[in-house]
Amino acid sequence: MERARRLAYRGIVKRLVNETKRHRNVESSSSHIVPSRYVSSVSTFLHRRESTAYPGGFGRHQLQQTRSISVDALKPSDTFPRRHNSATPEEQTQMANYCGFDSLNTLIDSTVPKSIRLDSMKFSKFDGGLTESQMIEHMSDLATKNKVFKSFIGMGYYNTHVPPVILRNIMENPAWYTQYTPYQAEISQGRLESLLNFQTVITDLTGLPMSNASLLDEGTAAAEAMAMCNNIQKGKKKTFVIASNCHPQTIDVCKTRADGFDLIIVTADLKDVDYSSGDVCGVLVQYPGTEGEVLDYGELKNAHANGVKVVMATDLLALTMLKPPGEFGADIVVGSAQRFGVPMGYGGPHAAFLATSQEYKRMMPGRIIGVSVDSSGKQALRMAMQTREQHIRRDKATSNICTAQALLANMTAMYAVYHGPEGLKSMAQRVHGLAGVFALGLKKLGTAEVQDLPFFDTVKIKCSDATAIVDAASKKEINLRLVDSNTITAAFDETTTLDDVDKLFEVFASVKPVQFTAESLAPEVHNSIPSSLTRESPYLTHPIFNMYHTEHELLRYIHKLQSKDLSLCHSMIPLGSCTMKLNATTEMMPVTWPSFTNMHPFAPVEQAQGYQEMFTNLGELLCTITGFDSFSLQPNAGAAGEYAGLMVIRAYHMSRGDHHRNVCIIPVSAHGTNPASAAMCGMKIVAVGTDAKGNINIEELRKAAEANKDNLAALMVTYPSTHGVYEEGIDEICNIIHENGGQVYMDGANMNAQVGLTSPGFIGADVCHLNLHKTFCIPHGGGGPGMGPIGVKQHLAPFLPSHPVVSVNSSFPLIGLSAFLC
């Protein structure tokens, strides 16, 4: 290996020397003009004009220079390509010449099959593109259409103060948001340490010894925990119980996932559950419940006595005061870390978590950061476990997830480092105290009934006309959660003030005068959490959480970690599996604007018209780019997009009575998540091989399709292929699948190579997911966030995902796919 490196190095040096000599020879023989990407659009020309004879009896030729101003010279100069596409036309031609072609167009013509080439592409909106200043103006206009009310909705989403030192130095810092997934430990020690901090936060607060380095959202984490229960029981117990006090979006995601595993979901009050049937693999409970109640789950011993695994969804801030799930004997704990310094952002992205015992570590989804030693024997960090094992185990993998929410997990970790255990506990006590003041005030008002159960931050209220109260609150720019016609909940958070509580008193008092203030009631309020449920065990005792509590200290720590890593601030990252690009600052700026960040995902749609317009615009643009008829923006990662696309195909077949269509053909060259996703959808995988050039063996595929034509559900194909080739027979492959009753799922991982040249819909695919973090502008964030929206042809549009809380336009939709809304 070392000899190969030396030979390669000598070759590079020799070539650079020769190039330098060649350029010197050119410069000495003729003037050398350096090509520039800044080409003037002012045309200059010289002409001779002969003047009339002067009295002195002589004539002369006068040389005069004149200029004409082109229209292009009058257009804005802050165009996107000029600042962000670094290769000039001349340089592009040179590169094409190096590859043996006279131009870039000739190279494309020789590479992309003529049968799938598009003649042109035109957008109905933004066809000319926007300059950077126009883009900021457009986003500012959308922001004004969002109306951010004070949110008391809760349901797993809370307002939070993002510490400015974290906002500026992590969320808005390209040294953190452009990093690649830390597969190469030697250039990733900084973010690996931060992710290890995240894992420590989770294990300390949940009371379980193992945590992954984040998952996509709370609903997905609960569904992954359900799959773990199924795997632990080796698929022999086919019922999964969900407590009725879980968040509705979590219940729906689990129901969707259960279909692929042939699991039966039973939603019930825990006291009515009988575990003795012997068919229950697991039970999911919420702590605190979605309506705020804090229950004693000691009775879960009955579940364990019958061999049932216990999954507990929880809240990190509450766990600074509440008895940790591990002390109840929970086997798996899931939740969202959003309220630890990550804005709501109309639903995400946020870092979810999953913690469990050492016994089940091999069944955990996601990545785990571990402490190891380097080649010189020094302590170092690396990804100790990860489910990119899909590339090895394929359909036998524990999960199809191959990403995380690394950027948001890092923000959460730094939030915990900044506040420390005492700061977090003080915050929790303040939130609980404000909720207590509100509950006491309602009792004094006598206009509503407060539930008697203990609560942490969410107060449940019974009243005669809940809708009228919610409407009255809305007039004061306050959002409450309407549970039913007689029930409201109000969830308090880090940003709530005494003034906010006084405004709530006014809402509930109606025309009745309020004779007290929140401040005057405070001395009467006591901790409502019973001693049996009060946390006694310590947490966040590691020095890292007790050192950096001032801004300058945390700033130095953040930069210390960042200096250990390679990001796009330093160089390009030539990894094909995730196309790495330096996100334009213009694209990133609106991400942290309050009109976008502070919107609760379940706020009334009329308050989120800026978001709705953005979604509509994006959907229409993606439809044009891909050649599809409809898009769902709900999948929050590529793997989630794969799963969603296959579930749409499954739902389509079932709607036609073809319940038996469950065979999915997948080339052996496919991305490892493909067979893992198909297995999660309950499909039977039939692998087809490749020819001598590594392309799909079309004859083998034809035979497989014909042999399974009665049961064929889908083909999963990546285009261009995983080794970067535009296979000539792709249109024929699509026809073969369609002729045998199947649908074509195209993996959009390599969509970069299609945009503007061809499209999945034009090629013949029925559904395709896009990795927006690869093809478009979402930052990679050191391993997330990502987004995997799916596009479909018209016949599949009625089966796109829905949402249990916010209405989504689908006729026969999948129930919830993720906690995301779009």
How far out from the chain centre does Cα 62 lie? 68
Please name which of 168, 149, 146, 167 lies closest in space to residue 159, comparing C-alpha atoms: 149
Three-state DSSP state, 275? helix
| Six token digits for residue 329 | 């004997």
Beta strands 239-243 and 264-268 are: parallel
Category of 346 on φ-ψ map: left (φ > 0), alpha (ψ -120 to 50) or beta: left
What distance in Å separates the CA atoms of residue 750 and residue 671, rounded to the nearest whole number? 11
Site of tokens 């002067």: 54
What distance in Å separates the CA atoms of residue 766 and residue 762, rounded to the nearest whole number? 10
Question: Which residues, 6+ apart, have CB-to-CB distance to 748 below 8 Å?
Answer: 626, 638, 641, 760, 768, 769, 770, 771, 775
Beta strands 487-491 and 481-484 are: antiparallel
Site of tokens 């979605």: 290
> Which residues does residue 176 pair with via DSSP β-bridges, in sequence order?
none
Residues 651 and 812: beta-carbon distance below 8 Å: yes
Grade residue 30 by pLDDT with cuts at 50, 70 and 90: very low
> Which residues does residue 373 pair with via DSSP β-bridges, in sequence order?
379
Q: Which long-range contacts (CB under 8 A, 24 or more apart) does 805-808 make?
A: 805/155, 805/248, 805/249, 805/601, 805/602, 806/601, 806/602, 806/605, 807/605, 808/634
pLDDT digits (tens, 9 = 90+) for 544-583: 999 999 999 999 999 999 999 999 888 887 765 566 667 8
Three-state DSSP state, 371? strand
pLDDT digits (tens, 9 = 90+) for 215-224: 999 999 999 9
Q: Can you state the percent helix, strand and coil of the chain, rounding each to 5?
A: 45, 15, 40
Percent of the chain with pLDDT over 70: 87
Q: What is the DSSP letter of 400?
A: S
Q: What is the mean pLDDT of residues 188-197?
A: 97
CB atoms within 10 A of CB 687: 16
Residues 222 and 778: beta-carbon distance below 8 Å: no
**pTM here?**
0.89
> Which residues does residue 265 pair with via DSSP β-bridges, in sequence order?
240
What distance in Å separates the CA atoms of residue 461 and residue 464, rounded to the nearest whole number? 10
Category of 638 on φ-ψ map: left (φ > 0), alpha (ψ -120 to 50) or beta: alpha
What distance in Å separates the CA atoms of residue 558 and residue 655, rounded to the nearest whole number? 53
Query: To 10 degrees, what angle do helices 132-144 and 609-626 make?
Result: 130
Grade residue 775 by pLDDT with cuts at 50, 70 and 90: confident
Q: Which of 22-31, 49-58, 342-351, 566-575 has the lowest mean pLDDT?
A: 49-58
Helix (H) or strand (E) holding 804: none
Q: In Å, what is the CA distance from 365 to each residue of 282, 362, 385, 678, 773?
A: 17, 9, 9, 16, 21
Q: Exposed (0-12), middle (13-18) or buried (19+): which is 757, by Cβ within 10 Å? A: middle
Q: What is the mean pLDDT of residues 494-518?
A: 95
| Six token digits for residue 258 | 């259960």
Stretch(es) of the chain classified as CATH 3.40.640.10: 605-799
Positive or negative, the CA dihedral 698, 703, 705, 706 is: positive
| Six token digits for residue 76 | 């804005």
Give the pLDDT score at 576: 57
Give the pLDDT score at 15: 55
Please name which of 404, 438, 489, 411 lies closest in space to residue 160, comparing C-alpha atoms: 411
pLDDT digits (tens, 9 = 90+) for 109-128: 999 999 999 999 999 999 99
pLDDT digits (tens, 9 = 90+) for 465-501: 999 999 999 999 999 999 999 999 999 999 999 999 9
Q: Which residue has the higher pLDDT, 702 or 78?
A: 702
Q: What is the DSSP letter of 181?
A: P
Q: Which residue has the higher pLDDT, 21 or 436?
A: 436
Q: What is the full DSSP assignment across 581-626?
A: ----HHHHGGGG-HHHHT--TTS-GGGBHHHHHHHHHHHHHHHHHH
Give the pLDDT score at 110: 93
| Six token digits for residue 135 | 């883009």
What distance in Å separates the CA atoms of residue 760 and residue 748, rounded to the nearest whole number? 8
Q: What is the mean pLDDT of residues 286-309?
A: 94
Q: Exposed (0-12), middle (13-18) or buried (19+): which is 19, by Cβ within 10 Å? A: exposed
Is the predicted pLDDT of residue 819 greater than 60, yes or no? no
User: Between vectors from CA 203 to CA 201 and to CA 205, what angle results, nearest 5°?
Assistant: 65
What distance in Å separates the CA atoms of residue 632 and residue 643, rounded to the nearest whole number? 13
Half-sphere exposure (CA, 13 Å, Cβ side) for 495?
A: 19
Phi–psi pair at 533, nearest 5 degrees: -115, 10
Greatest Cα pair distance, the chain, in angstroms, is 123
Query: To 10 degrees, what angle do helices 466-475 and 498-509 make?
Result: 130
What distance in Å separates the CA atoms of residue 249 and residue 259, rounded to the nearest whole number? 16
Residues 470 and 482: beta-carbon distance below 8 Å: yes
What distance in Å separates the CA atoms of residue 93 and residue 87, rounded to the nearest whole number? 10
What does the mean pLDDT of the chain come to?
88
| Six token digits for residue 437 | 């003041």
Residues 480 and 473: beta-carbon distance below 8 Å: yes
pLDDT digits (tens, 9 = 90+) for 362-397: 888 888 999 999 889 999 999 887 644 555 556 566
Amino acid (1-letter code) at residue 351:
A
Lateral strand order in the sheet of 332-336? 210-211, 352-356, 332-336, 309-315, 280-287, 239-243, 264-268
> Which residues does residue 241 pair with via DSSP β-bridges, in sequence order?
266, 283
| Six token digits for residue 249 | 């979006």
For 605-799, CATH gives: 3.40.640.10
Residues 354 and 366: beta-carbon distance below 8 Å: yes
Lateral strand order in the sheet of 458-462? 449-450, 458-462, 487-491, 481-484
Give the pLDDT score at 182: 86
Q: What is the DSSP letter of 145?
A: T
